[in-house]
Amino acid sequence: MFVSRSSERAIERAGPSGEDTSRFPGSYYAASLGAAIAAPALGGDAITDFCVIGGGFTGLGAALALARRGRSVRLVEMGPIGWGASGRNGGQVHVGWQQDQPWFEQRLGTDRARALWQAALDARAHLDSLIALADDACDYRAGLIHADHKADHVAATHAHVAMMRETYGYDSLTPLSRDALRAMVGSPDYHGGSFDARGGHLHPLKLAQAMARAAQDAGAVLHAHTPCTGLEPARDGWRVKTPHGTITTGQVLDATGAYARALVPQSDAHVLPINNYIATTAPLDPALATSLIRNDAAVSDSRFVVYYFRMTPDHRLLFGGGESYGYRMPRDIAAFVRPHLARIFPQLADVPISHAWGGSLAISPNRLPFAIEPRPGLHAVNGFSGVGVVLAPWLGDAVGRAMAGEANNAYDLVRRLPSPRFPGGPWLRWPTQALAMRFMALRDRF
């Protein structure tokens, strides 16, 4: 058994984070989705070649890749499809990894650094192909502003832009002076930054649902409201236990993100779940909305605990800010986010908040994702560290192709990335890392 009896009971009741898995959280995304796809819960035993645990971008990417290759694949998700981080994130489309190119060059050499940059561009192009699956293009809007909250960060940002243009030929990036940035973002908090024309923002729950629909159309069988309560080796593969049936499968993928709890301990050791919070305002007067962000771009800042924000199509400000460590979320999330929002936009200090929600993201020690196969036929992909909108569907696709026996560069590149574990094991990694993160977050204030 890979999961203890007590965690088994907890997962059956409410999901490992203690949240209600019977429906989406009360997010703006759930409210603006329309009808969710039908994906009936598993109601008996089944046999399949491949089984994916987790219906977020990673799991859906893998299921879609396998189904498109004519493989028999089932996916189990403990909530509705897209219930986890994939259906509740900021929707910000970042090009690249959580480490910059000089970081890769110094540790892995120039050739691998270049290959990783090309992979980041491939991942971004892959996202375009997924956005195109939805009639409304998942509300995609182009443009991402990086905003520096300290004046002495700006020179480094501009040097980075110059290096990416000259060394990597990436001319979608442009530097922003203090005046140029303030002409785009109506906040006194920022001193300059950069603009990435290949970045952008989208409705992430629409993206997850579009991927799920495409996977079903290609022949994948998706089971929402079906928690995996245990995973056991079987004679020719694995048994995936759920409350109302067992799936016997040749290969299994753990794509449970930050919601993973003791299913595959070898994977858990590489990630730390962190809670992050988002609020949307009531629809704003269009002129006020335009004064906050003038070119409809997404904005993400230089704080350790990043503030990120953008407009929705109906002129709400969708603002992400504030983190907590541990399983519990604040009782009043709107009150938790409001001071962060007011710090950036004092003019919105008393604005009505229509929706507020939290989600868990999985960070890894070096902030890079990993793909491991701890036992034959048992795969795990995780650790996107806050930039999974572009990378998770792409890496899910890569691992799906690899499970189908198709060699691919994307999978090999990620398999070869350094993938340290958090010190302290499953329990001690929490207090030590949380302390370190709180210290870093404190530095944002000075």
Ligand X SMILES: Cc1cc2nc3c(=O)[nH]c(=O)nc-3n(C[C@H](O)[C@H](O)[C@H](O)COP(=O)(O)OP(=O)(O)OC[C@H]3O[C@@H](n4cnc5c(N)ncnc54)[C@H](O)[C@@H]3O)c2cc1C
- The kind and range of the H/E element at 112 are helix 110-131
Nearer to ligand X, 104 or 308 (CB): 308
Binding mask 347-366 for ligand X (x = CB under 6 A): ------------xxx-----
Q: Say whether 57 sits in a helix, a strand or coil.
A: helix
d(CA 93, CA 143): 9
Is position 85 an interface residue for ligand X (rule: CB under 6 A)? Answer: yes
Strand partners, 145: 195, 299
**Shortest approach of ligand X to residue 376 CB, angstroms?**
21
Quick one: which of 27, 52, 68, 79 contacts ligand X (CB under 6 A)? Answer: 79
d(CA 44, CA 65): 25
Q: Which of residues 385-404 bind ligand X (CB under 6 A)?
A: 386-389, 392
Quick one: which of 64, 73, 78, 311 contacts ligand X (CB under 6 A)? Answer: 78
Q: Which residues contact 182 (CB under 8 A, 6 or more apart)?
A: 188, 190
**Shortest approach of ligand X to residue 76 CB, angstroms?**
5
Pairing relationship of beta strands 317-325 and 272-281 according to DSSP bridges: antiparallel
Is the dihedral angle over the CA atoms 171, 172, 175, 180 positive or is it negative?
A: positive
Q: Which of residues 267-326 bind ligand X (CB under 6 A)?
A: 276, 278, 308, 320
Nearer to ligand X, 78 or 158 (CB): 78
**Of 119-127, 175-183, 334-342, 382-390, which part binds ligand X (CB under 6 A)?**
382-390
Residue with tokens 């050499």: 109
**Shortest approach of ligand X to residue 177 CB, angstroms?**
25
Nearer to ligand X, 192 or 227 (CB): 227
d(CA 70, CA 195): 41
Cβ(317)–Cβ(371) below 8 Å: no
Nearer to ligand X, 92 or 101 (CB): 92
In single-letter form, the type of residue at position 126 comes to: H
Is position 228 an interface residue for ligand X (rule: CB under 6 A)? Answer: yes
d(CA 41, CA 225): 5
Q: Which residues contact 180 (CB under 8 A, 6 or more apart)?
A: 192
d(CA 174, CA 143): 11
**Shortest approach of ligand X to residue 151 CB, angstroms?**
25
Is position 80 an interface residue for ligand X (rule: CB under 6 A)? Answer: no
Cβ(363)–Cβ(383) below 8 Å: yes
> 304: which DSSP letter?
S
What does the block give as tokens for 107? 């540790």
Nearer to ligand X, 46 or 361 (CB): 361
For ligand X (CB under 6 A), the number of binding residues is: 44
Cβ(422)–Cβ(429) below 8 Å: yes
- The kind and range of the H/E element at 205 are helix 204-217
Pairing relationship of beta strands 378-382 and 73-76 according to DSSP bridges: unpaired
Strand partners, 346: none
Is position 96 an interface residue for ligand X (rule: CB under 6 A)? Answer: no
Q: Which residue is nearest to ligand X (CB)?
A: 388
Residue with tokens 């959280």: 25
Is the dihedral angle over the CA atoms 418, 424, 428, 433 positive or is it negative?
A: negative
**Of 75-83, 149-157, 326-334, 413-421, which part binds ligand X (CB under 6 A)?**
75-83
Q: Say whether 289 sits in a helix, a strand or coil.
A: helix
**Of 283-291, 330-338, 381-389, 408-416, which part binds ligand X (CB under 6 A)?**
381-389
**Shortest approach of ligand X to residue 71 CB, angstroms?**
19
Binding mask 243-272 for ligand X (x = CB under 6 A): ------------xxxxxx--x---------
Nearer to ligand X, 278 or 293 (CB): 278
Is position 143 an interface residue for ligand X (rule: CB under 6 A)? Answer: no
- 254: nearest Cα among 52, 86, 41: 52
Quick one: which of 36, 42, 51, 53 contacts ligand X (CB under 6 A)? Answer: 53
**Shortest approach of ligand X to residue 242 CB, angstroms?**
8
Q: Please give the sequence-ordered ranges of beta strands (E in DSSP) within 326-425, or none if there are none.
A: 353-363, 370-375, 378-382
**Of 54-62, 130-138, 169-177, 412-420, which part binds ligand X (CB under 6 A)?**
54-62
Nearer to ligand X, 105 or 373 (CB): 373
Quick one: which of 25, 90, 96, 193 contacts ligand X (CB under 6 A)? Answer: 90
Nearer to ligand X, 98 or 187 (CB): 98
Footprint of ligand X (CB under 6 A): 11, 53-59, 76-79, 83-86, 88-92, 94, 227-228, 255-260, 263, 276, 278, 308, 320, 359-361, 384, 386-389, 392
